[in-house]
Structure 1
Amino acid sequence: MGILDGKRILVAGVTMDKSIGFAAARFAQEQGAEVLISNFGRALGITRRIAKRLPKEAPVLELDVTDEDHLAGLEAAVREHVDGLDGVVHSIAYGNPETLLGGKFLEGPWDDVAQAVQVSAYSLRSLAVACRPLMGEGSSIVGLTFDATVAWPAYDWMGVAKAALENTSRYLARDLGPDGIRCNLVSAGPLKTLAAKAIPGFEDLESMWSTRAPLGWDETDADPTARAICALLSDLFPATTGEIVHVDGGFHAMGA
């Protein structure tokens, strides 16, 4: 038996098979879940091809979390495949690398900052509200962050967006808790994903982990992060919400 036997899971924001979202979808299936994945726009075709690489090809939904029509139609789109959801994974973030990242904090224009905050943080609230009618007591929402308690090299306005995401998760935990819905985040160490490659200077972050993470860190292996996500989706953490679980080899706990 798997820890997600019988669970119905939506993983929002799956593009490449190297992504955290794909790893989470794969492990969720291996643990017995019925999985749906989503993307939108030009990436949708890629996602449909990638879906065939999962242990079981997953239905692919078109979902732009900034599009109110997509959000309004999400319940019906999900019900074409399953009759509800037990878990939702928010694997979505974006910040314009040309204006917001790589040492451009002081120059970042508001329009791009606003987009980064909407896509990377406010969308967790948007997705939760859209999925709420599909979720019952014992359901779980899990998002992905990169430790926003400190300022990182190169990360700049995405760090601000992640700080907003972390607080959004806490308020969702407060407001969805009475419905029996949990909301938590996983804070992963740096991984070689498509999103990471778009960050100028991201290799500076990666280099820190090799010497400071006491358990070591493999930036090519998203499986430990996927396992944490799926543990939070399962029934193993029934009284945990508003939490941030670090999967970073212990880096976050080290002072030097």
Structure 2
Amino acid sequence: MGILEGKNILVTGVTHKTSIAYQVAKIAQEEGATVIVSNFGRALSLTNRVVKALDPVPPVIELNVTDEQALAALPDVLRANGFDTIDGVVHSIAFANPETALGGGFLTTPWEDVATSLKVSSYSLASLTMACKPLFSDDVSVVGLSFDGRISWPTYDWMGVAKAALESTSRYLARYLGPEGVRCNIIAAGPLDTIAKKAIPGSNTFNDVWDDRAPLGWDLQDAVPTAKGVVALLSDWFPKTTGEMIHVDGGVHSMGA
């Protein structure tokens, strides 16, 4: 019996086999979960193709987390796809304009682009959680994905600010939803060669940092360790852990130099 046996899990942001979300969906199924995945817009066609490699092939729904009507309709959409309850939500959603909000132009980014990044990458953790809440079971785990927003990173700019806001949002969700049996945590991953990373100008500068400083080593092509961290938090093995950020980065976060 797997550690997610009998659980219903919503995994957002599945786009490619290299994505953390894809590996989460795959491992969650292997651990006994029933999975449904979501994406939005042009990425939806990628999702529909990549999930065909999963067994069983999970339902795919379209969800724009910035659309209030889509969020309001989400419980009915999930019910229509066989989800009467939800035991876990994986937030793997982020966006920042690579031309203005990433790549070193931090001081000149217009507010409109900052606002978009915060709404899509940070506020959506709260809006998605609350949209799913009508279907929550008695023991729910919400897990978001970050790239350690406690510190500044070269080229990451306003996405770094958005990730810091995401991490703080998770802590406040933990505060307000904990009494209802909802755990909210963050996994801070090391850099992975995903579509999202490749969209960040200059993101290859992270590679040398992890090559030099990860005491456990780090494989840019392997999202499985990060996905296992997410799945562990979705399980019942962390029953009293909430408001936490767990690093899956080969140990870089703890090294001074």
Instruction: Say whether the fold is shared (TM-score over 0.5).
Output: yes
| C-alpha distance after superposition, 1:35-71 (max 9, x if no partner) | 0000111111221111111122010011000011110
Q: Partner residue of 1:71?
A: 71
- Aligned ranges for residues 147-166 of structure 1 at < 5 Å? 147-166=148-167
Q: Partner residue of 2:199?
A: 198
* 2:181 maps to amino acid: G
Q: Secondary structure at the match of 1:237?
A: coil
Unaligned runs of 5+ in 2: none
State how far apart, in whole Å, the 2-side matches of 1:127 and 1:226 are.
20
State how far apart, in whole Å, the 1-side matches of 2:140 and 2:87 are.
5
State how far apart, in whole Å, the 2-side matches of 1:14 and 1:65 are.
14
State how far apart, in whole Å, the 1-side matches of 2:133 and 2:83 are.
15
Q: Which runs of 4+ in 1 moved over 4 A?
A: none
State how far apart, in whole Å, the 2-side matches of 1:11 and 1:191 are.
18
Identity of aligned residues (%): 61
State how far apart, in whole Å, the 2-side matches of 1:166 and 1:255 are.
22
Shift of 1:136: 2.1
- Aligned ranges for residues 152-191 of structure 1 at < 5 Å? 152-191=153-192
Shift of 1:107: 1.1
1:30 aligns with 2:34: no
* 2:54 maps to amino acid: L
State how far apart, in whole Å, the 2-side matches of 1:110 and 1:205 are.
27
* 2:61 maps to amino acid: L
- Aligned ranges for residues 208-227 of structure 1 at < 5 Å? 208-227=209-228
State how far apart, in whole Å, the 1-side matches of 2:251 and 2:138 are.
32
Q: Partner residue of 1:51?
A: 51
Shift of 1:149: 1.1
Q: Secondary structure at the match of 1:228?
A: helix
1:62 aligns with 2:55: no
1:120 aligns with 2:109: no
Q: Secondary structure at the match of 1:73?
A: helix
State how far apart, in whole Å, the 2-side matches of 1:52 and 1:58 are.
8
Q: Partner residue of 2:112?
A: 111
Q: Secondary structure at the match of 1:202?
A: coil
Q: Secondary structure at the match of 1:78?
A: helix
* 2:66 maps to amino acid: T
Q: Secondary structure at the match of 2:204?
A: helix
State how far apart, in whole Å, the 1-side matches of 2:15 and 2:97 are.
17
Q: Secondary structure at the match of 1:157?
A: helix
Q: Secondary structure at the match of 1:221?
A: coil
Cα pair 1:13 1:92 within 8 Å, conserved:
yes
Cα pair 1:8 1:86 within 8 Å, conserved:
yes
| C-alpha distance after superposition, 1:106-155 (max 9, x if no partner) | 11110000000000000000000001111122110000001111110110
